[in-house]
Structure 1
Protein backbone atom coordinates (compact mmCIF):
# COMPACT_ATOMS: atom_id res chain seq x y z
CA UNK A 1 0.00 0.00 0.00
CA UNK A 2 1.16 3.52 -0.69
CA UNK A 3 0.67 6.36 1.73
CA UNK A 4 -0.60 9.67 0.43
CA UNK A 5 1.96 12.29 1.53
CA UNK A 6 -0.82 14.91 1.63
CA UNK A 7 -2.64 12.98 4.42
CA UNK A 8 -1.68 12.46 8.04
CA UNK A 9 -1.25 8.88 9.28
CA UNK A 10 -4.57 9.10 11.10
CA UNK A 11 -6.29 9.93 7.81
CA UNK A 12 -5.15 6.61 6.30
CA UNK A 13 -7.94 4.76 8.12
CA UNK A 14 -8.29 2.20 5.33
CA UNK A 15 -4.68 1.06 5.92
CA UNK A 16 -4.17 1.58 9.65
CA UNK A 17 -6.43 -0.21 12.10
CA UNK A 18 -4.60 0.61 15.33
CA UNK A 19 -3.77 3.82 17.15
CA UNK A 20 -0.45 5.38 18.02
CA UNK A 21 2.33 4.41 18.17
CA UNK A 22 2.33 3.49 14.48
CA UNK A 23 4.76 0.97 13.02
CA UNK A 24 5.36 1.25 9.31
CA UNK A 25 7.36 -1.16 7.18
CA UNK A 26 9.08 -0.49 3.90
CA UNK A 27 7.94 -3.45 1.84
CA UNK A 28 9.27 -4.27 -1.58
CA UNK A 29 7.38 -6.10 -4.28
CA UNK A 30 10.42 -6.91 -6.41
CA UNK A 31 14.05 -7.15 -5.38
CA UNK A 32 16.30 -4.79 -7.30
CA UNK A 33 18.87 -6.59 -9.42
CA UNK A 34 21.46 -3.91 -8.60
CA UNK A 35 20.54 -1.96 -5.44
CA UNK A 36 23.42 0.44 -6.13
CA UNK A 37 21.33 1.87 -8.97
CA UNK A 38 18.62 3.00 -6.55
CA UNK A 39 18.85 6.79 -6.70
CA UNK A 40 18.06 7.78 -3.11
CA UNK A 41 20.35 6.79 -0.24
CA UNK A 42 17.37 6.37 2.09
CA UNK A 43 15.77 3.99 -0.43
CA UNK A 44 18.97 1.90 -0.58
CA UNK A 45 19.05 1.81 3.23
CA UNK A 46 15.38 0.81 3.49
CA UNK A 47 15.96 -1.82 0.80
CA UNK A 48 18.86 -3.22 2.86
CA UNK A 49 16.72 -3.36 5.99
CA UNK A 50 13.91 -5.11 4.12
CA UNK A 51 16.23 -7.76 2.64
CA UNK A 52 17.79 -8.30 6.07
CA UNK A 53 14.36 -8.72 7.68
CA UNK A 54 13.10 -11.01 4.90
CA UNK A 55 16.15 -13.28 5.27
CA UNK A 56 15.82 -13.35 9.07
CA UNK A 57 12.13 -14.23 8.95
CA UNK A 58 12.60 -16.89 6.25
CA UNK A 59 10.69 -15.04 3.51
CA UNK A 60 13.88 -14.80 1.47
CA UNK A 61 15.55 -18.20 1.53
CA UNK A 62 19.17 -18.11 0.45
CA UNK A 63 22.05 -20.58 0.31
CA UNK A 64 24.56 -20.52 3.16
CA UNK A 65 27.27 -18.89 1.03
CA UNK A 66 24.95 -16.01 0.09
CA UNK A 67 23.71 -15.69 3.68
CA UNK A 68 27.36 -15.47 4.82
CA UNK A 69 28.11 -12.74 2.29
CA UNK A 70 24.99 -10.75 3.21
CA UNK A 71 25.73 -11.24 6.90
CA UNK A 72 29.28 -9.96 6.45
CA UNK A 73 27.99 -6.84 4.70
CA UNK A 74 25.45 -6.32 7.48
CA UNK A 75 28.16 -6.68 10.13
CA UNK A 76 30.37 -4.22 8.26
CA UNK A 77 27.47 -1.76 8.06
CA UNK A 78 26.83 -2.16 11.78
CA UNK A 79 30.37 -2.39 13.17
CA UNK A 80 32.61 -1.03 10.42
CA UNK A 81 35.69 -2.75 9.01
CA UNK A 82 37.11 -5.70 10.91
CA UNK A 83 39.33 -4.69 13.82
CA UNK A 84 41.11 -7.61 15.53
CA UNK A 85 41.33 -5.62 18.76
CA UNK A 86 37.56 -5.04 18.94
CA UNK A 87 36.24 -8.09 17.08
CA UNK A 88 37.28 -11.19 18.96
CA UNK A 89 36.18 -14.68 17.96
CA UNK A 90 32.44 -15.20 18.24
CA UNK A 91 31.41 -11.54 17.90
CA UNK A 92 28.97 -12.41 15.10
CA UNK A 93 26.94 -14.68 17.40
CA UNK A 94 25.33 -11.58 18.93
CA UNK A 95 23.51 -10.94 15.63
CA UNK A 96 20.77 -12.89 13.84
CA UNK A 97 20.62 -13.14 10.05
CA UNK A 98 18.65 -16.29 9.21
CA UNK A 99 16.26 -18.58 11.07
CA UNK A 100 18.06 -21.46 12.80
CA UNK A 101 21.43 -19.73 12.47
CA UNK A 102 24.33 -22.17 12.91
CA UNK A 103 27.84 -21.61 14.24
CA UNK A 104 29.29 -22.56 10.83
CA UNK A 105 27.46 -19.62 9.24
CA UNK A 106 28.72 -17.25 11.96
CA UNK A 107 32.30 -18.41 11.33
CA UNK A 108 31.88 -17.86 7.59
CA UNK A 109 30.52 -14.36 8.23
CA UNK A 110 33.55 -13.57 10.40
CA UNK A 111 35.95 -14.85 7.70
CA UNK A 112 34.29 -12.73 5.02
CA UNK A 113 34.03 -9.66 7.27
CA UNK A 114 37.82 -9.77 7.75
CA UNK A 115 38.29 -9.40 3.99
CA UNK A 116 35.95 -6.40 3.54
CA UNK A 117 37.35 -2.89 3.47
Structure 2
Protein backbone atom coordinates (compact mmCIF):
# COMPACT_ATOMS: atom_id res chain seq x y z
CA UNK A 1 0.00 0.00 0.00
CA UNK A 2 1.16 3.51 -0.64
CA UNK A 3 0.01 7.06 -0.24
CA UNK A 4 -2.98 7.90 -2.44
CA UNK A 5 -0.81 10.52 -4.15
CA UNK A 6 2.54 9.96 -5.84
CA UNK A 7 5.34 12.30 -4.80
CA UNK A 8 6.94 13.41 -8.09
CA UNK A 9 10.25 14.15 -6.35
CA UNK A 10 10.75 10.52 -5.23
CA UNK A 11 11.26 7.27 -7.11
CA UNK A 12 8.11 5.15 -7.48
CA UNK A 13 9.83 2.05 -6.09
CA UNK A 14 10.68 3.99 -2.91
CA UNK A 15 7.01 4.90 -2.40
CA UNK A 16 5.58 1.38 -2.86
CA UNK A 17 5.77 -1.28 -0.18
CA UNK A 18 5.10 -4.13 -2.62
CA UNK A 19 6.04 -4.76 -6.21
CA UNK A 20 7.07 -4.84 -8.95
CA UNK A 21 4.84 -5.09 -10.88
CA UNK A 22 3.26 -1.82 -9.83
CA UNK A 23 -0.40 -1.00 -10.39
CA UNK A 24 -1.59 2.59 -10.69
CA UNK A 25 -5.14 3.89 -10.67
CA UNK A 26 -5.94 7.32 -12.05
CA UNK A 27 -8.58 9.24 -10.13
CA UNK A 28 -9.56 12.87 -10.00
CA UNK A 29 -9.65 14.80 -6.76
CA UNK A 30 -12.04 17.52 -7.94
CA UNK A 31 -14.91 17.11 -10.35
CA UNK A 32 -15.21 19.48 -13.28
CA UNK A 33 -18.39 21.52 -13.64
CA UNK A 34 -17.92 21.10 -17.41
CA UNK A 35 -16.60 17.58 -18.06
CA UNK A 36 -17.37 17.93 -21.77
CA UNK A 37 -14.36 20.26 -21.94
CA UNK A 38 -11.97 17.41 -21.08
CA UNK A 39 -9.91 17.18 -24.27
CA UNK A 40 -8.69 13.61 -24.28
CA UNK A 41 -11.28 10.91 -25.01
CA UNK A 42 -9.56 8.35 -22.76
CA UNK A 43 -9.48 10.86 -19.88
CA UNK A 44 -13.23 11.41 -20.29
CA UNK A 45 -13.73 7.65 -20.26
CA UNK A 46 -11.73 7.25 -17.02
CA UNK A 47 -13.60 10.22 -15.52
CA UNK A 48 -16.97 8.54 -16.21
CA UNK A 49 -15.73 5.20 -14.85
CA UNK A 50 -14.65 6.85 -11.60
CA UNK A 51 -17.99 8.61 -11.13
CA UNK A 52 -19.83 5.36 -11.90
CA UNK A 53 -17.73 3.41 -9.39
CA UNK A 54 -18.22 6.02 -6.67
CA UNK A 55 -21.98 6.12 -7.24
CA UNK A 56 -22.19 2.32 -7.09
CA UNK A 57 -20.12 2.22 -3.88
CA UNK A 58 -22.07 5.09 -2.32
CA UNK A 59 -18.96 7.23 -1.80
CA UNK A 60 -20.32 9.99 -4.03
CA UNK A 61 -23.51 11.60 -2.76
CA UNK A 62 -26.15 13.38 -4.84
CA UNK A 63 -28.70 15.58 -3.05
CA UNK A 64 -30.74 16.61 -6.12
CA UNK A 65 -33.49 14.01 -6.74
CA UNK A 66 -33.76 14.74 -10.48
CA UNK A 67 -30.02 14.37 -11.03
CA UNK A 68 -29.94 11.27 -8.82
CA UNK A 69 -32.65 9.67 -10.98
CA UNK A 70 -30.74 10.47 -14.18
CA UNK A 71 -27.50 9.08 -12.72
CA UNK A 72 -29.30 5.91 -11.64
CA UNK A 73 -30.62 5.51 -15.19
CA UNK A 74 -27.08 5.85 -16.56
CA UNK A 75 -25.83 3.22 -14.10
CA UNK A 76 -28.45 0.76 -15.30
CA UNK A 77 -27.38 1.11 -18.94
Q: Same fold (TM over 0.5)?
A: yes
Map 1:74-113; keep pairs closer than 5 Å: 74-76=75-77
Runs of at least 5 residues in structure 2 that lack an aligned partner in the other structure:
none
Aligned residues: 70
Partner residue, 2:18? 18
| Structure possessing the higher relative contact order (Cα contacts under 8 Å, 6 or more residues apart) | 1
| TM-score, normalised relative to structure 1 | 0.47
Structure 1 residue ranges, 4+ long, deviating more than 6 angstroms after superposition: none
Question: Could you tell me which residue of structure 1 aligns to residue 72 of structure 2?
Answer: 71
Greater gyration radius: 1
Unpaired segments ≥5 residues, structure 1: 5-10, 77-117
**CA shift digits 1:21-57 (9 cap, x unpaired):** 5432221111010111100001101110111112222
